[in-house]
């Protein structure tokens, strides 16, 4: 999974006349019947003419200020497992109210959102995560089974209630194993201030994702077999639509108006694929990454790792009779794909175009670029400046893929993770339990004000790193090679210190557990060096660890891009052979997964559980009884129906 150039460009086999999705589609997104999105929902109180009053993206810190609209947006969903054919091939899918992708959640910044989820799948558990929302007032509504709640049992329902505490574009998805690779996801549009980026038409969500014809459990079981069976994705979709190997299945379409500026909300809900999105003959102006408004900049291609979102503005400069392609390309070097499966097309029609004919436009020169990383950090500058400051704790996490005797699983700093669906961690902490089995991989950071993590990836696979409950400062990224280790400005003595692990409520150096296979990359290390034992993960100070002489790790030179206002987002791509440095403020007590957003990796243990301020959880948190009630419902169902937990039990 390197980043070399593609030798063969994808080609289109779309027929003419074009077959476009209509009202009989599994989702109206990407059809002429798609909802029209206003600048904001107007059934709110409107102080100063807006639901958010005088707050703007430039004068309000979104992590400390939020409008109180007093409005609740209510939704009722039914999850079913059904045979469906988004690309013309019958497969089993998880549908939300019969839709793939699921219905749009739409709200204003500061609204409450209430979603009642009824699980009508006869053999599948359910839990829904609201990706990117902070859940500051409601950490028990984050939707991670075994962490915040027990799964929603078949035949049961659960009502999530949480604030739209950030604004912009995001999505929701199943958080049961890798379940969402087979559906159970959809977009979220949270309207908020965007006064610095005026536009005329909000086209709405454009979801681009790779697509499997095999059921998610079969794919995951293959990856986790003792002799792994690697399943490559079969197709690429835009808003749940594309043809397959020339079968002329319906495509998505969008409307542009000449002379107008359109807003498009790009979302990548892929299980593993990087998506490169472009519009033939058009420049896009980036205005937000994830839930963070940015100082605008221009590009001709948007790169999204799994879980990421980017909002763009596009000027309708085309002839009123023209039509062009919107392209979503998944570079085969960034994810495992079958031949002829890398390109999804959607037609963009200007107001006078012939909607029966396929566009004949040509791809942008960089439409099929195969670089798997995000745009340079120097380009992605938040509108509201926040300086990260110095961290209270720094952790260095080298990543490795090793066999545990039955499967190849992921380790961070020598640790892997499996949750217990019957015993949610947050509910345990509320009852005073702070010591957990090492396999739960829970790390107590106490009342430390801020945490910094240096991820080091000497392997050959990319990892989009995602944190729940926070936006991360993205401080730096770069190559992590043996040559750099010797000249990076880190400790040159080669000393590797072994010391008792400190409590996490003190300022500590990182637990850097370099396993044997990484020792050639460690200053002064050699193959065959001694690995370190892992701690118990509870913050008790009872474990031993291997600690380097600096807190920079073995690749990072300590530099920070735009140190007074670095990029913030909730997912950042970590490339093969690279490192990234992230930091966040501990201002949200809870249990927050920090993990790879590739479904198959998270299900194979790539999750680090951040326990934040357990004293506040025990003293101040009032968890509703309905959250705990998910557990007896789950116990009752699983006493009769055995539900296999293939991997870690949690995904993105």
User: pLDDT tens, 444-495?
Assistant: 999 999 999 999 999 999 999 999 999 999 999 999 864 443 333 332 222 2
Domain presence at residue 388: no
pLDDT of 306-346, one tens digit each? 999 999 999 998 799 999 999 999 999 999 999 999 999 99
Q: Among 23-37, 64-78, 493-507, whose mean pLDDT is lowest?
A: 493-507
Residues 6+ apart with CB under 8 A from 458: 398, 399, 480, 518, 521, 577
Structure token digits, residue 546: 């291997």
Share of the chain above pLDDT 90, in %: 79
Q: Which residue is associated with the tokens 């913050």? A: 539
Residues 6+ apart with CB under 8 A from 468: 129, 135, 142, 144, 592, 593, 594
What pLDDT does 650 receive? 52
Q: Among 184-188, 238-242, 391-395, 403-407, whose mean pLDDT is lowest?
A: 403-407
Q: Confidence class of residue 49 from pLDDT cuts 50, 70 and 90?
A: confident
Domain presence at residue 198: no
Q: Confidence class of residue 647 from pLDDT cuts 50, 70 and 90?
A: low
Q: Confidence class of residue 552 from pLDDT cuts 50, 70 and 90?
A: confident
Res 148 pLDDT > 50: yes
Res 53 pLDDT > 90: yes
Distance CA 76, CA 286 (A): 33
Q: How far is CA 424 from CA 98, 158, 418, 427, in A?
A: 30, 16, 12, 6
pLDDT of 593-602, one tens digit each? 999 999 999 9
Res 188 pLDDT > 90: yes
Domain presence at residue 428: yes
What pLDDT does 47 receive? 85
Q: How far is CA 600 from CA 176, 214, 230, 235, 524, in A?
A: 12, 14, 11, 17, 34
Among 357, 132, 393, 385, which residue's Cα sits nearest to residue 251?
357
Distance CA 252, CA 233 (A): 20
Distance CA 233, CA 237 (A): 11
Res 592 pLDDT > 50: yes
b or e along 118-150 (b: 16 or more beta carbons within 10 Å of the residue's beta carbon)? bbbbeebbbbbbbbbbbbbebbbbbbbbbbbbb
Mean pLDDT of 181-202: 92
Instruction: Tell me which DSSP letter residue 530 carries.
Output: P
What pLDDT does 305 receive? 98
Q: What kind and span of H or E run contains 169?
A: strand 168-174
Q: What angle do CA 540, 425, 154 make, to 5 degrees?
A: 160
Domain presence at residue 366: no
Contact 296, 313 (CB under 8 A): yes
What pLDDT does 644 receive? 60
What pLDDT does 522 receive? 34
Res 550 pLDDT > 90: no
pLDDT of 498-546, one tens digit each? 222 223 332 222 333 333 434 333 333 322 222 222 233 333 222 223 3
What pLDDT does 538 receive? 32
b or e along 246-273 (b: 16 or more beta carbons within 10 Å of the residue's beta carbon)? eeebbbbbbbbeeeebbbbbbbbbbbbb
Distance CA 420, CA 124 (A): 16
| Overall number of domains in the chain | 1
What pLDDT does 639 receive? 87
Q: Confidence class of residue 290 from pLDDT cuts 50, 70 and 90?
A: very high
Residues 6+ apart with CB under 8 A from 265: 169, 187, 189, 202, 203, 204, 205, 206, 309, 311
Domain presence at residue 488: yes
Res 102 pLDDT > 80: yes
Distance CA 187, CA 203 (A): 13
What pLDDT does 646 receive? 57
What pLDDT does 13 receive? 83
Q: What dihedral do alpha carbons 185, 181, 27, 345 form, nearest 10°?
A: 120
Contact 130, 141 (CB under 8 A): yes
b or e along 597-631 (b: 16 or more beta carbons within 10 Å of the residue's beta carbon)? bbbbbbbbbbbbbbbbbbeebeeebebeeebeebb
What pLDDT does 540 receive? 29
Q: Confidence class of residue 11 from pLDDT cuts 50, 70 and 90?
A: confident
Alpha helices by DSSP H, listed for 186-332, are 216-223
What pLDDT does 500 receive? 23
What pLDDT does 514 receive? 37
- Chain-wide mean pLDDT for the chain? 87
Domain presence at residue 564: yes
Among 590, 550, 596, which residue's Cα sits nearest to residue 572?
596
Largest CA distance in the chain: 72
Domain presence at residue 305: no
Q: Confidence class of residue 197 from pLDDT cuts 50, 70 and 90?
A: confident
Domain presence at residue 307: no
Give the CATH number, domain containing residue 450: 2.60.40.420
Share of the chain above pLDDT 70, in %: 86
Q: Among 98-102, 347-351, 417-421, whose mean pLDDT is lowest?
A: 417-421
What pLDDT does 12 receive? 83
Mean pLDDT of 131-140: 97
Contact 468, 592 (CB under 8 A): yes
Q: What dihedral do alpha carbons 29, 33, 37, 43 form, nearest 10°?
A: -120
Mean pLDDT of 578-585: 98
Domain of residue 518 covers 393-622
């Amino acid at each position: 999974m390197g980043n070399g150039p593609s030798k063969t460009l994808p080609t289109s086999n779309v027929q003419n006349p074009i077959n476009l999705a209509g009202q009989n589609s599994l989702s109206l997104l990407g059809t002429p019947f798609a909802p029209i999105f206003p600048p904001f929902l107007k059934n709110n109180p409107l102080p100063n003419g807006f639901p958010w009053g005088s707050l703007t993206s430039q004068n309000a810190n979104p992590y400390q200020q939020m409008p109180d609209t007093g409005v609740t947006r209510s939704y009722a969903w039914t999850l079913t497992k059904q045979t469906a054919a988004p690309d013309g091939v019958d497969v089993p899918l998880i549908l939300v109210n019969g839709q793939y992708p699921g219905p749009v959640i739409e709200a204003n910044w500061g609204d409450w959102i209430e979603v009642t989820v009824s699980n009508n799948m006869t053999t599948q558990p359910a839990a829904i995560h609201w990706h990117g929302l902070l859940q500051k007032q409601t950490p028990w509504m984050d939707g991670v089974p075994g962490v915040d709640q027990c799964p929603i049992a078949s035949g049961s329902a659960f009502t999530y209630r949480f604030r739209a505490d950030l604004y912009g574009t995001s999505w929701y998805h199943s958080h049961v194993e890798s379940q969402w690779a087979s559906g159970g996801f959809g977009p979220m549009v949270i309207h908020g201030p965007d006064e610095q980026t005026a536009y005329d038409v909000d086209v709405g969500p454009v979801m681009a994702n790779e697509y499997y014809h095999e059921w998610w459990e079969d794919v995951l079981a293959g990856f986790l077999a003792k002799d792994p069976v690697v399943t490559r994705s079969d197709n690429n979709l835009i808003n749940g639509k594309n043809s397959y190997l020339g079968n002329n299945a319906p495509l998505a379409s969008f409307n542009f108006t000449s002379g107008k500026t359109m807003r498009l909300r790009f979302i990548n809900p892929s299980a593993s694929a990087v998506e490169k999105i472009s519009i033939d003959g058009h420049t896009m102006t980036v205005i937000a990454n994830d839930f963070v408004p940015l100082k605008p900049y221009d590009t001709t291609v948007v790169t999204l790792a799994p879980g990421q979102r980017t909002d763009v503005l596009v000027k309708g400069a085309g002839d009123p009779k023209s039509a062009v392609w919107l392209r979503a390309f998944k570079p085969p070097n960034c994810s495992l794909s079958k031949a002829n499966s890398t390109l999804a097309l959607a037609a963009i029609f200007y107001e006078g175009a012939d909607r029966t004919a396929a566009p004949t436009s040509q791809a942008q020169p960089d439409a099929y670029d195969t670089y798997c990383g995000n745009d340079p950090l120097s380009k992605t500058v938040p509108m509201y400046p926040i300086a990260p400051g110095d961290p209270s704790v720094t952790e260095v996490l080298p990543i490795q893929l090793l066999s545990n005797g039955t499967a190849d699983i992921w380790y961070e700093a020598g640790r892997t993770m499996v949750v217990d669906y019957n015993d949610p961690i947050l509910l345990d902490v509320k009852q005073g339990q702070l010591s957990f089995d090492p396999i739960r991989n829970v790390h107590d950071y106490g009342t430390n004000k801020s945490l910094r993590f240096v991820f080091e990836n000497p392997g050959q696979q990319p990892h989009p790193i995602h944190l729940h409950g926070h936006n991360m400062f993205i401080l730096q990224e770069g190559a992590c090679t043996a040559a750099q280790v010797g000249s990076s400005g880190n400790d040159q003595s080669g000393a590797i210190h072994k010391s008792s692990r400190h409590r996490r409520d003190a300022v500590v150096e990182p637990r850097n557990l370099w396993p044997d296979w990484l020792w050639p990359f460690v200053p002064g290390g050699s193959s065959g060096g001694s690995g370190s034992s892992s701690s118990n993960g509870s913050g008790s100070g009872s474990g031993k660890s291997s600690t380097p002489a600096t807190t920079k790790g073995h690749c990072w030179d300590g530099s920070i891009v735009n140190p007074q206002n670095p990029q913030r987002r909730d997912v950042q791509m970590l490339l093969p052979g690279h490192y990234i440095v992230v930091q966040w403020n501990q201002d949200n007590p809870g249990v927050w997964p920090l993990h790879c957003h590739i479904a198959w990796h998270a299900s194979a243990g790539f999750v680090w559980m951040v326990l934040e301020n357990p004293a506040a959880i025990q003293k101040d948190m009032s968890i509703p009884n309905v959250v705990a009630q998910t557990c007896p419902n789950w116990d009752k169902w699983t006493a009769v129906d055995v539900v296999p937990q293939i991997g870690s039990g949690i995904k993105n």
